[in-house]
């Protein structure tokens, strides 16, 4: 292996030499291993085949507002993985919701702004607000993400075919993360209607002729008539991976985040006379979504020096034993590497994955929103701690990129 790695350097004997690209294809595992564990004679640092340090992420760029026919859109490129996300808002009338009841519509007597403020102040400890949010966003399915890989993004995915199980599970992950981070505020998606508060004598006068037009909620205008929700915005979040070179989730999530930050909803109100929701044409009336926090996803893969360790060893060492071995070996050659932001080539060579989604609050305290680890047994608690630290560094970087776009 070492000889063949050195062979391309000595071009004097062309018969035996092997260009690196061919070596990479014939012996992918050995190729990556040779890069990560250079011979101790030359003082090269451990570097991945793509030229990155093990904990280095790929160059990331984001561009918001690329699509004109959407309410919000973004293109995020992480290395050679590119994701386009478009957010389209459509109206959902409450009368079209089968399970909608009047009590649900008028349950909140607070004005939308004040509800917003109390939530800002008390963070998310208000159980009632959370429950109402969940009832609206989750039960009514106001967020509909869909991820498409059938775009010819990589040779393995046939364009135009049915969604692969990878695409489906990525869609679910994005939806589940949107729900669990409560990124979108339900209040941004509600369209309220405040029935005009008429004085009692005025009402007497108007009641007869207006009875026809006016909605049932107005029949009981003893005091100030309660506001009611007339419609919701439903956000259709479509993600196309137009080029896939590993780590689809990070790119897709970053694209969703950038697109939602870019999303503007037109001003909409209930028109009593036409009994419909009308929207304002002017862009100055439109307002942006106010998102909760900035959750940033970072994925990692574990490359093992001995690819066959899992199946060849008749007896896998105990966890404590493995740790002791690793500590003893510290400083020497490590047996496995944590690779941040794996590309397509590395994903093919690794089985163990980890994904951490972090956010930082105003004090700079790191909050973990999702932590996944699967497919192997080499990552332990210390490694996860390290991954969380790396992810919080990545958060700073992504925040800068997303703020600039």
Q: Give CA–CA dist 259/254, Å, rounded.
A: 8
Cα(184)–Cα(291) distance, integer angstroms: 5
Among the listed residues 26, 367, 396, 400, the single contact to another protein using CB under 8 A: 367
Residue 382, number of CB atoms within 10 A of its CB: 10
Closer Cβ to another protein, 9 or 315, answer by number? 315
Whose Cβ is closer to another protein: residue 216's or residue 311's?
Answer: 311
Positive or negative, the CA dihedral 103, 109, 115, 118 is negative
Short-list 380, 360, 377, 381, CA closest to 369? 360
Question: Considering beta carbons, is residue 47 or 166 the nearer one to another protein?
Answer: 166
Nearer to another protein, 6 or 135 (CB): 135
Distance of alpha carbon 102 from alpha carbon 225, whole angstroms: 13
Q: Which of 1, 2, 316, 333 binds another protein (CB under 8 A)?
A: 316
Q: Find the shortest distance in angstroms from Cβ 122 to another protein.
A: 12
Which residue in 372, 399, 401, 405 binds another protein (CB under 8 A)?
372
- Shortest reach from residue 71's CB to another protein, in Å: 21
Q: How far apart are CA 104 and CA 228, in angstroms?
A: 9
Closest CA to 79 of 368, 384, 336, 347: 347
Q: How far is the CB of 161 from another protein (least distance, A)?
A: 12
CB closer to another protein, 218 vs 299: 299
230 scored as a contact of another protein (CB under 8 A): no
Q: Looking at 86-196, list the stretches that DSSP marks H as alpha helix, in order from N- to C-terminal side.
A: 102-105, 112-121, 127-133, 165-181, 186-189
| Interface map 102-141 toward another protein (x if CB under 8 A) | -----------------------x-x----------xx-x
Q: How far is the CB of 334 from another protein (least distance, A)?
A: 17
CA distance linking residue 399 with residue 276, whole number of Å: 40
Stretch that binds another protein, among 5-13, 70-78, 93-101, 381-389 (CB under 8 A): 381-389
According to the binding rule CB under 8 A, does residue 234 interact with another protein? no
Q: 125 or 281: whose CB is closer to another protein?
A: 125
d(CA 366, CA 359): 6
Q: Which two tokens stand for residue 70?
A: 């959407």
Whole-angstrom distance, CA of residue 265 vs CA of residue 286 = 5
- Ranges within 325-364 binding another protein (CB under 8 A): 351-353
Using CB under 8 A, count the residues that bind another protein: 50
Query: Which CB atom, from 65 or from 375, has the smaller least distance to another protein?
Result: 375
10 Å Cβ neighbour count for 40? 9
For residues 19 to 58, the per-residue mask of contacts with another protein, x marking binding by CB under 8 A and - elsewhere, is: ----------------------------------------
Q: Would you give the distance in Å from CA 118 to the centre of its chain?
A: 27
State the Cα–Cα distance between residues 395 and 297, nearest whole angstrom. 8
Among 106, 310, 326, 399, binds another protein (CB under 8 A): 310
Instruction: Tell me: does residue 391 bind another protein (CB under 8 A).
Output: no
* CB 187 to another protein: min, Å: 19
- Minimum CB separation from another protein for residue 273, in Å? 37
Q: Which is nearer to another protein, 47 or 371 (CB)?
A: 371
CA-wise closest residue to 190 among 89, 274, 43:
89
d(CA 281, CA 264): 12
Name which position in 198, 214, 371, 405 contacts another protein (CB under 8 A): 371
Token pair 């089968």 in the structure block, residue: 98
CA distance 229 to 92: 11
- Contact between 354 and 377 under an 8 Å Cβ cutoff? The reply is no
Facing residues of 231 across strands?
93, 191
94 binds another protein (CB under 8 A): no
Which range in 30-38, 78-86, 244-252, 315-323 contacts another protein by CB under 8 A?
A: 315-323
Instruction: Please give the residues from 132 up to 191 whose contact with another protein meets the rule CB under 8 A.
Output: 138-139, 141, 143, 165-166, 168-169, 171-173, 175-177, 179-180
Give me the residues that bind another protein (CB under 8 A), please: 125, 127, 138-139, 141, 143, 165-166, 168-169, 171-173, 175-177, 179-180, 310-311, 313, 316-320, 322, 351-353, 365-381, 384-385, 388
């Amino acid at each position: 292996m070492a000889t063949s790695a050195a062979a391309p350097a000595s071009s004097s004997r062309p018969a035996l030499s092997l260009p690196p690209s061919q070596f990479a294809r014939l012996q992918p595992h050995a190729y990556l291993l040779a890069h990560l564990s250079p011979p101790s004679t030359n003082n090269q640092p451990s570097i991945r085949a793509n030229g990155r340090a093990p904990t280095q992420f790929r160059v990331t760029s984001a561009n918001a507002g690329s699509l004109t026919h959407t309410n919000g859109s973004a293109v995020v490129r992480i290395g050679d993985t590119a994701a386009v996300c478009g957010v389209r808002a459509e109206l959902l009338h409450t009368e079209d919701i089968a399970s909608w009841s009047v009590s649900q519509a008028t349950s909140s007597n607070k004005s939308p702004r004040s509800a917003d403020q109390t939530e800002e102040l008390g963070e998310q400890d208000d159980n009632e607000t959370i429950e109402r949010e969940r009832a609206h966003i989750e039960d009514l399915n106001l967020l509909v993400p869909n991820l498409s890989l059938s775009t010819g993004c990589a040779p393995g995915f046939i364009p135009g075919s049915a969604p692969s199980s990878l695409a489906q599970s990525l869609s679910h992950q994005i939806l589940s993360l949107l729900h669990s981070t409560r990124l979108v505020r339900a209040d941004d998606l509600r369209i309220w209607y405040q029935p005009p508060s008429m004085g009692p004598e005025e009402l007497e006068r108007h009641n007869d002729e207006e009875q026809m037009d006016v909605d049932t909620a107005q029949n009981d205008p003893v005091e100030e008539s309660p506001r009611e929700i007339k419609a919701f915005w439903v956000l259709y979040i479509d993600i196309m991976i137009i080029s896939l070179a590993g780590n689809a989730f990070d790119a897709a999530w970053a694209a969703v985040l950038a697109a939602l930050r870019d999303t503007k909803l037109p001003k909409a109100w209930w028109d009593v006379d036409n009994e419909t929701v009308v929207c304002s044409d002017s862009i100055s009336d439109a307002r942006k979504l106010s998102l909760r926090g900035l959750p940033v996803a970072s994925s990692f893969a574990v490359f093992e020096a001995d690819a066959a360790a899992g199946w060849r060893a008749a007896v896998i060492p105990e966890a404590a034993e493995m740790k002791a071995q690793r500590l003893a070996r510290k400083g020497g050659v490590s047996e496995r590497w944590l690779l941040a932001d794996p590309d397509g080539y590395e994903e093919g060579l690794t089985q163990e994955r980890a994904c951490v989604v972090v956010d930082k609050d105003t004090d700079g305290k790191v909050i973990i929103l999702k932590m996944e680890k699967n497919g192997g047994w080499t990552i332990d608690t210390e490694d996860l701690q390290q991954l969380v630290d790396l992810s919080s560094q990545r958060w700073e970087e992504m925040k800068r990129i997303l703020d600039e776009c």
